């Protein structure tokens, strides 16, 4: 039995974190956690730990006499200022109180519930997308509270759908379109976006056609193509596999009779079948 007023040492009668075993806070908003060790002689020393690691500073401690008749017991109260980050959700804060009367500290713990607006990431399934296919876009959200409302848009225009995923059928014109997911909970609203990289096969922008010049004059055939990835050009001559040029323009500095004929412009985009167009070089007839 403890003798109050006999001058003997004694451990704290109680140790408690005043905010309870679970404290709900908002991300980046500073908040106090307090711990009280009551009825100790001598006054208890309080130490804070976070996830098992001692917190070296940031707490404020006050000591005052306990409201008991002996006037020899002390209450110690410690305040810890916490500015929670996202990664602090679920963090365990531990208050340890010890004095000369006990060899091991008395301990109370508190778990932090960090509430925050959604953190949003938009992903495509599959990630490698081509024109003519349908893709599933997912709005991957980390939010607390978890109740989330979704809104979708493409290039600023609303897309029907209020869940965390939508299906899109893609065309060439969707390349570089920006799809955005807006996610909201009771704490706030955040956005995530994905710029569509739609792969598509080659299309001719310019085709070679025909050119006819006087013998010895310069001539050129021009061919260009669009594609994603960018199209590459290769010039060959009918009946030959030899590459004459990989530029858009096939140039003849001085046309000779041996240059007369058909030439092939082949446009290639990786992952798609190549396409071909034909051009002809002639020499003007003499009058």
Whole-model pTM over 0.85 = no
Specify the pLDDT at position 99.
95
Among the listed residues 44, 34, 36, the one whose alpha carbon sits nearest the alpha carbon of residue 9 = 44
14-116 and 117-199: same fold? yes
Specify the pLDDT at position 66.
87
Helix, strand, coil in percent for the chain, rounding step 5: 5, 55, 40
Specify the pLDDT at position 58.
63
Q: Which fold has domain 14-116?
A: Immunoglobulin-like (2.60.40)
Tell me how far apart the alpha carbons of residues 179 and 193 are, in angstroms, rounded to a whole number: 6
Domain boundaries, the chain: 14-116, 117-199, 201-283
Specify the pLDDT at position 2.
46
Specify the pLDDT at position 4.
44
117-199: CATH superfamily: Immunoglobulins (2.60.40.10)
Phi/psi-derived region of residue 161, left when phi > 0, alpha when psi is between -120 and 50, beta in every other case: left
Specify the pLDDT at position 20.
86
Specify the pLDDT at position 163.
96
CA–CA distances in Å: residue 149 to residues 114, 146, 183: 19, 10, 6
Going by their DSSP bridges, the two strands 261-268 and 275-283 should be labelled as: antiparallel
Instruction: State the residue for tokens 């792969």.
Output: 199
Tell me how far apart the alpha carbons of residues 193 and 139 are, in angstroms, rounded to a whole number: 9
CATH 2.60.40.10 assigned to domain 201-283? The reply is yes
CA–CA distances in Å: residue 92 to residues 25, 95, 97, 283: 13, 10, 16, 88
DSSP category for residue 10: B
Profile the chain (287 residues) by mean pLDDT over runs of 10 residues.
Answer: 58 92 96 94 95 84 83 92 95 96 96 98 96 97 97 97 95 97 97 98 96 96 97 97 97 96 98 97 87
């Amino acid at each position: 039995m403890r003798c109050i007023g006999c001058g003997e040492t004694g451990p704290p009668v109680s140790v408690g974190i005043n905010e309870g075993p679970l404290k709900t806070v908002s991300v980046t908003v500073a908040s106090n956690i307090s711990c009280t060790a009551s009825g100790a002689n001598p006054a208890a020393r309080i130490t804070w730990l976070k996830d098992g690691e001692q917190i070296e500073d940031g707490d404020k401690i006050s000591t005052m006499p306990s409201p008991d008749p002996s006037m020899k017991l002390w209450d110690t109260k410690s305040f810890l200022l916490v500015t929670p980050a996202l990664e602090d959700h679920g963090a365990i804060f531990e208050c340890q109180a010890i004095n000369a009367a006990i060899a091991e500290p008395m301990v109370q713990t508190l778990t932090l519930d960090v509430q925050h607006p959604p953190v949003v990431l938009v992903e495509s399934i599959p990630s490698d997308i081509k024109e003519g296919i349908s893709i599933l876009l997912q709005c991957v959200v980390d939010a607390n509270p978890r109740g989330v409302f979704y809104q979708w848009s493409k290039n600023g225009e609303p897309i029907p759908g209020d869940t965390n995923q939508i299906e899109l059928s893609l065309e060439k014109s969707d390349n570089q379109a920006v799809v955005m997911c807006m996610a909201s909970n009771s704490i706030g609203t955040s956005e995530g976006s994905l710029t569509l990289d739609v792969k598509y096969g080659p299309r001719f922008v310019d085709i070679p056609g025909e050119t006819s010049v006087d013998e010895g004059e310069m001539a050129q055939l021009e061919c260009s193509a669009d594609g994603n990835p960018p199209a590459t050009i290769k010039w060959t001559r009918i009946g030959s596999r030899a590459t004459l040029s990989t530029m858009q323009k096939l140039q003849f500095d001085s046309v000779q009779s041996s240059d007369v004929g058909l030439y092939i412009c082949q446009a290639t985009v990786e992952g798609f079948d190549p396409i071909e167009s034909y051009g002809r070089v002639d020499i003007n007839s003499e009058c």
